[in-house]
Amino acid sequence: MRIGIAQINTTVGDLAGNRRKILDAYAELVARGAQLVVFPELVTCGYPPRDLLFKSRFVPDTQASLDLIASAIGATPALIGTVTPNPAPAGRPFFNAAAFCHRGHVLRIAHKCLLPTYDVFDEDRYFEPAPSPLIVEHAGLRIGITLCEDIWTHPALRTPRPLHHINPVALLAASGVDLMVNLSASPWQQEKETLRLQLVADTARALRAPVVYCNAIGGNDELIFDGRSLTVDAGGRLLARLASFREELRVVDCPLPPPLPLSLDVGCSTLDVRHSAKPPPPPPPPPLPPKPRPKPRPNSSTPSSSACATTRPRAASNAHSSPSPAASTPPSSPRLPPKPSDRTTSPASRFPRPFPRNTRVTTPQPSPATSISITTASTLPPPWPPPKPRSRPSSPDSRATSPRRTFKPASAASS
């Protein structure tokens, strides 16, 4: 894929002058055969805009300028750094964004995830961070869009206190991209050229995809931007490096995997292919059928419904039949189930009563005519030895005079 890198010098607040530079660079890179044109960070308004963002007309005028630029974009798409308002009532009022423009319209807008708030940067004062980077699909390729600080997450740059809570490069690697583009406005400092090249190369190896790094050029306030835009392949090898401290437009041939076709002919069948980062989730399993309820067992004591149904028509037919010699007798009424009061409600009433107490069951020797004789307590022999009966005194005087009670048999007392 032929990618055009527009390393241009913009002026903070000069919306009309920046718009002319953007359109002129786009036209020249398209004429050179670019298939995608990349611009630096916040190129529409210049970096850093600082408190100009709080002016009432600055952000709306920047959006109007972006719409004019997008209307001039043709079949070759362009990634343009800009500022957009935050529609949410909470959070910072603006987004540091990159607009994907194609065929006269702004199709997608990517927001910056990591906001530098250290050294010379104070982006947290103005911008709201995004939770994850944006991936745009174009020409069958997945293009990950990041802005400047989003790739400054190398392990060698970590401090004891982490500066950011997410890693956009790791998120893109997990989703899978064919190309990553970084729109940057990175100021110059000593030995930053070597550090920047190492950072971009390690990012490409982590993504296993080429990386295009477009940096700003020029001086705004006390910041000096050195340019030196980069392009590396998936293995981290340097493909192109633009000039330092001056503007340059260049088209770089970036090796990319060929896009997958929409269908493949395999034997006698055709397979549809959709290029996506993750396979679609499997469909949910069908719901289980409801379990059938168990049918109630028919009660033997009550007639079935079919018996009642067959009895009623017979009664009706007997009532409407021709008179007979026995017609004087009333027709028999159909059998109805017994009333609840007639039914035996107690389970114990279904069984015979047990033998009464003090009942002995004797079983004689088996014989051809064996019978069981039951004798009640009135016919049982007395226990042995027989208890001695007690006798009461005849008068209260005898009870008091006799020191010891005497018991006599009932026969002796009566005599």
User: Where do we find the tokens 């009563």?
Assistant: 353
User: Where do we find the tokens 């529609």?
Assistant: 87
Task: Determine the Cα–Cα distance for residues 135 and 146; give it in Å rounded to an integer.
Answer: 9
148 carries an active-site annotation:
yes
Query: Which of the residues 113, 148, 214, 254 is marked catalytic?
Result: 148
The amino acid at 143: I
Query: Which of the residues 21, 45, 101, 112 is marked catalytic?
Result: 112
Element (H, E) at 275: none
**First-to-last CA distance in the chain?**
145
Residue spans of alpha helices (H) in 47-101: 58-71
Asked if 18 and 44 touch (Cβ cutoff 8 Å), the reply is: yes
Asked if 168 and 203 touch (Cβ cutoff 8 Å), the reply is: no
Largest CA distance in the chain: 157
Query: Which of the residues 41, 123, 128, 149 is marked catalytic?
Result: 41
Q: Provide the token pair at 132.
A: 């994850």
If you write DSSP's letter for every residue of 214-240 in order, what string do you get? E--EEEETTEEEEB--EEE-TTS-EEE
Task: Determine the Cα–Cα distance for residues 249 and 253; give it in Å rounded to an integer.
Answer: 14
Task: Determine the Cα–Cα distance for residues 338 and 343; give it in Å rounded to an integer.
Answer: 7
Q: Which residues are catalytic?
A: 41, 112, 148
